[in-house]
Structure 1
Amino acid sequence: MKKSNRSGAALRRAGGTAFGLYRFLLLAGLSVIILYPVLYSVSLAVRAAQDLYDPLVILIPRHFTWDNLKNALVHLEYAQAFPNSMALVLASTLLQAASCSLVGYGLARYRFRGRGVIFAMVILTIVVPPQTVIIPNYMNFRYFDPLGLVSLWNLATGQQAAVNLINTNWAFYLPAALGMGIRSGLIIFIFRQFFRGMPRDLEEAAYIDGCGALRGFFRIMLPNAGPAFLTGTLFSIVWYWNDYVYTSNYLSNSKTVMNQLYRLYDHIGHIMEYEMNTSPYEGILLLQAGVLLAILPPLLLYVFLQRYFVESIERSG
């Protein structure tokens, strides 16, 4: 009897060890798949041109150099593009978080006719590609006329006034403030799911104490919605930072990091051959240095906030 118990315990330990080894190998393989492109980009950004033609150099360069990053900073005009991108991203993110939290709270807590239809339309905005609505949105911002007020002013005064929001950040601020920013549907969904999981006793206690709907939302619900806000804010920052479809159309004359990166990609051959007197094939080093500078801010943001981000994902669903 004791022998069979010892053999069973040994089998369980062996099974636990085998499962632990399998889990380690699986996670290590996934980590390599995920991290290899980033590590390869870093390797290309800091290697010299002669290492590009060396088949023995894979990840660790033989000749380190910072010239690629310095040249990328110059051609991206990073000193100007970075503040422009940050102003666009931070303001749009704050406006989007505020509007989406209100919409998500209303859909989660209040029962009214048409609530299901509105929520279905919110979900629909997640799957609709932005290219299908970018032309109508462009015309709307190019000849901005809210509620026909500009046309009414022209009729009353006989003037031909026009409001053009193209090449201004207002083309991003207004949709974000109205819950129609980039991927707002998903952020509304996150807030709706989070508020649905909160107990109604909190609101009922606030109502008994004399709080109205808005005061109860700001005083009771928002302080407890930190995980949802963190999740939605991080998603919003990454989407606005990485966006090129909207910024290239609405801010074609503005210098943002992504716009400058795509301009660098379009002119890399001309830059390497005529401005730097090198082979256009070596432009991959300059381009990878530009890519590294472009992904560095959201990458650092995730590195420092990844623990809170994982916790917020678990709590908000």
Structure 2
Amino acid sequence: MPPPSSLSRTAVIGFTVVITLIGIALFQAEFANPHPRLLPLGVLIIIVVAFVALERKYRNELNRQQEKIERLMGIKVVLASLIDMKDPYTEGHSRNVRDLTFEFSNFLGLPLEACEEHATAAELHDIGKIGLPDAILKKAGSLQDEEYTEVKVHPRLGAEALKTLRGFESIRNIILHHHERYDGTGYPDGLAGDCIPLGSRIIALADSYDAMLHGREYRAPMSIMEIISALQAQAGKQFDPDLTSAFLKFLHHGVRSGTRDPVCGMPVSAEDSDFVLEKDGHKWLFCSETCMQEFQRHSSKYLLKPEAQHSDSKN
């Protein structure tokens, strides 16, 4: 017995054929022996047949597009896995930058399609590092000048790796330019200001924030206040000043709404956090007891004030 889907397709085809034959017969009868009521009926039948045919064509095209999207998402997963295999550090970093980029893009009020595109580029932004030697990629200390020169090739390598994938053109461009600087001194092309794609400018902030938040083997993690100071110092230099101001508001919103630890800036949630402190009528969430104790000792240091944060964002 054929599956229900086959029966459904057979029924639609059969119905379409029968209705078409009836329409043709009515038209032939009308031309042979004109009748004032048959012509409108014949026209209606033809319209119904055309509608059914167009609906089937649209549904088939929709299915093909969905299959393409699923294939592209499958490719993205494979590429992200390759990054993880190359460098365990990059695994958590890429996911963090992806989530942060999506949340910030959404905070900016960008369309969902743009948020998803930026997030995909963020997840794959370091894919070019697959082409770097392990001796450089996994080096514990600071890089020498010649090693850093080699690292600076990774945005172009990443863009080249995706050039054969249809539908990734904009994502490739974002990845290519995510290390450009607002003042034009970045790489690989030295773009400046609004010439840098918006997604690249957003990822630059998210990438730097996560790198400072989690630290490196040669650099200790920074607190959220230290990160804010660092971002302010680079507004208009490394980062888009308007986006920097918006990003600081985004961080403040996350702390006040209970989705980020006010001390370290790590994501938190009411469902998962065991460290909660009520102060001045507000409930603060923490990722660890250490952060909660630090906040209790120096709460004034971590009570973010947006007007104070943004006063230097244009410098």
The answer to which structure, 1 or 2, has the higher relative contact order (CA under 8 A, 6+ apart) is: 1
Query: What TM-score comes out, normalization by structure 1 length?
Result: 0.23
Tell me which protein shows more helix as a share of its residues.
1
Taking structure 2 as the reference length, the TM-score comes to 0.23
